[in-house]
Amino acid sequence: MKKKNAFTLAEVLITLGIIGIVAAMTLPTLIANYKRQEYSTRIKKFYSTLSQAIIRSEVDNGSAVYWTKADQLKNDEGKVDYGANADWNKAFVEKYILPYLKYVNAGIKKWDGNNNYETIVLTDGSEFMLHNGDCIDIIYDMNGLGKSPDKDGYDRFRFLMCFNDTKRNSFFGNKSKFFGAYGRCVNRDTALTNCKNDPIRCSVLLECDGWEFKEDYPHKLW
């Protein structure tokens, strides 16, 4: 009778060990690729969603560049009055944005236990807040308030709505551009360096890259 081939226990253990080593080597890369894809999808969706809401709003309210924006509101001591600015942003959002946007809820919230901002929770659980600055500053939080790491360039990304030619030209390099990343994409190398050194400016790198998180994106994605 012909003897059947069989694996010894040692051979099985060696094989499993090799599989484990290969898995340990490749798993971090697979997870990183998944996170890059997930975050790219989310930020593309946010940018498209808010851009489309602005376009729909313009049908009823005229060109966005002519929408009314108050000067940044300050108290008697000359400091930024976050409460008053939040109230103003609430009125702005209720007129120009919310009727043209799918969302879960909206209202004034504290961010990071500090100041109040008008905040909108989107249907995918992400959130964005608006602050009345030189332009309207927008911070988009991909995984929602209170979920780590809550840091610029990691799960938070900044955008602007600008209301006059000087600000639009200064931030975007384009007098007709109303909404975009927090700055202009002059070239990718500069955008990459700026993102490394100042995470607040990482949305510019993403805009350079078509809202994709490339392999050389400098901050860890959670």
Give the residue among 174, 203, 164, 187 at the shortest CA–CA distance from 50. 203
Give the model's pLDDT for residue 27: 58
Give the residue among 114, 118, 206 at the shortest CA–CA distance from 156. 206
- Provide the angle, in degrees to the nearest 10, between the axes of the packed helices 82-96 and 9-61: 80
Q: Quick: pLDDT tens for 72-89.
A: 989 889 899 988 999 999
The percentage of residues in the chain with a pLDDT greater than 70, rounded to a whole number, is 91
For residues 204 and 27, which has the higher predicted lDDT (pLDDT)? Answer: 204
